[in-house]
Amino acid sequence: MTKNDTNIEQYLVCTDSMVGIFTGIYCAYELHCCPEQTHLVLKDQYELRLFAEYIEIQEDAQKAEKVLRTLEREFGEENYERIANALSSYEPEKADDVYHLVTEGLFRHLGVHVTEHLSNPYIIAMMKLSGNVYNEIHHLYGFLRFQELENGLLYARIEPRNNIMFQLMEHFSDRFPSENFIIHDAGRSIYAVHIKGKAWFFVEQDLVMELIGATEVSREEELFAMYFTAFCKSIAIQERTNFKLQRQMLPLRFRPNMTEFCH
């Protein structure tokens, strides 16, 4: 059944990943779905509606790759990066917003000028999602803290709202190519490992435990953490303390994983 055959609302259910959502966009085109009556929803993140048809979409890397190439070609690299950031958001509406953004952009031939049409609600939604993700990424560029373990491995624990491990690993792999390090998204139980001089990759929790085991932080790390915390306290001017400004510049949710607030 397709949208050419019925006026029933149609919901394509995809996994919460770029491959899953891009596959959903491809299948919507393949099924000749009418965008006005079609929605993309994330698995386990939607409520059933009466008089609606639900189709579960299986991830397909080849179909997702075709959508990716189309977006890069038609929308340009900068707008594709915005779309990719939007799909890293924790907001469940992201899949539907990006699907309708793509259909609007391709149907109206907006191309690289898509972000100039801010009267379009889907473009507004994409820009907002992308902006929120972009801000969190750049917060963690500065707020992420590595700790040196006894075996020499660098370990960082984060709890971001958005699924931004890919962007962070790309950044830190480029910045520390000669280091062995692990970044752990504790909220999603995701681990990514970088081996010095090689590419980074995602790993299962069991393998990570084998890599780090029960290893504690090194003695040098303990001393550094103590000195760094003392330094941060020493440069503070108590008479000019402004907690409101501090929370604006450094949100509270980042602090539990930052060295200077843990000692």
Residue with tokens 């048809």: 53
Look up residue 46 and give its two tokens.
Answer: 């939607």
In which element (H, E) is residue 127 found? helix 121-143
pLDDT at 3 over 70: no
Q: What would you measure as the largest C-alpha separation in the chain, in angstroms?
A: 71
Q: What pLDDT is recorded for position 6?
A: 59
CA 116/CA 126 separation, integer angstroms? 12
Question: What DSSP string describes 12-77?
Answer: EEE-SSHHHHHHHHHHHHHTT--GGGEEEEETTS----TTEEEEEPPP-HHHHHHHHHHHHHHHHH
pLDDT at 1 over 50: no
Beta 52-56 vs 38-42: how paired, if at all?
unpaired
Read off the pLDDT of residues 14-58 as tens digits, 9 standing for 90 and up: 999 999 999 999 999 999 999 999 999 999 888 888 889 999 999
Read off the pLDDT of residues 132-182 as tens digits, 9 standing for 90 and up: 999 999 999 999 999 999 888 999 999 999 999 999 999 999 999 999 999
Look up residue 96 and give its two tokens.
Answer: 């539907």
What's the angle, vertex CA 76, arms to CA 72 and CA 78, rounded to 5? Answer: 110
| Better-scored residue on pLDDT, 112 or 254 | 254
Q: What pLDDT is recorded for position 2?
A: 46
Read off the pLDDT of residues 73-98 as tens digits, 9 standing for 90 and up: 999 999 999 999 999 999 999 999 99
Read off the pLDDT of residues 88-131 as tens digits, 9 standing for 90 and up: 999 999 999 999 999 988 888 787 888 888 888 999 999 999 99
Q: What pLDDT is recorded for position 181?
A: 95
pLDDT at 209 over 80: no
| Better-scored residue on pLDDT, 171 or 219 | 171
